[in-house]
Chain A
């Protein structure tokens, strides 16, 4: 996972660089939480441009991080999903709390 913090708008970009399943979330979860508590951003943006696969483990991962950012008074967004990932996200109903933002780099 790569991350980038933009001071200007206090946005933390979390770019996931592996397939998201039960195995990989164990590691990614810890990395994300470290970054979120380190930067205390106003918003986190999950960048899916490098994610080729995601199952329900990804839903749990996103909801968990959403709870953390909400606790800190911030919001969350998703960008750059492919078709099959969007399908899993839509089914879960998660997009009501973490919307997909179509344009890249909207802050």
Chain B
């Protein structure tokens, strides 16, 4: 019997800044199963780095806590869930805005969520004060065969129309 998911993985690690590279490289290696382009892989790495860094800097404010990543592959889509049990976000709508940051003193630019939103197809933010934050991101990998197949179909269609 085929499982509900095509593939799934979970990762849990301490909120140490040297785990930022570990997290994005691990998720990228997992995502490679979908055969993404170099650019798609770079987008995923950047988005993961943003979310994980946010857990460390804002969620736990550089104290020690656990960060969890769950990644699921379903057909040609990857879903990545990144969560902390930190301090939570007071106003999620405001936090999403470009240039909005509560840590300007640490040379943060307030572009993290903006980058996640533009590099991934969908970004959901769930947050409860003093409980934690969970970011869910999804991205469709555009397979080369699909692109070719579509082109072929379009050609057939055009042939029928003309």
Q: Which residues of A pack against B, CB within 8 Å?
A: 19, 21-23, 25-26, 29, 53-57, 59-61, 63-64, 83-84, 88, 91-92
Are B118 and A22 in contact, CB atoms less than 8 angstroms apart? no
State which of B14-22, B85-93, B128-136 sits at the interface with chain A: B14-22
Chain B interface residue number, banded: 20 to 34
Residue ID in chain B nearest A65 by CB atoms = B107
Residue ID in chain A nearest B41 by CB atoms = A84
Are B45 and A53 in contact, CB atoms less than 8 angstroms apart? yes
For B24, list chain A residues within 8 Å (CB).
53
Are A91 and B114 in contact, CB atoms less than 8 angstroms apart? yes
Interchain residue pairs A-B with the least CB separation, the first 8 = A60-B107, A23-B17, A84-B42, A59-B109, A55-B49, A56-B111, A22-B53, A64-B107
Q: Which residues of B pack against A, CB within 8 Å?
A: 17-18, 20-21, 24, 39, 42-43, 45-46, 49-50, 53, 56-57, 106-109, 111-112, 114-115, 118
Secondary structure dominating the interface of B: helix
The answer to whether A21 and B20 touch (CB under 8 A), given A55-B53, A57-B53, A84-B46, is yes
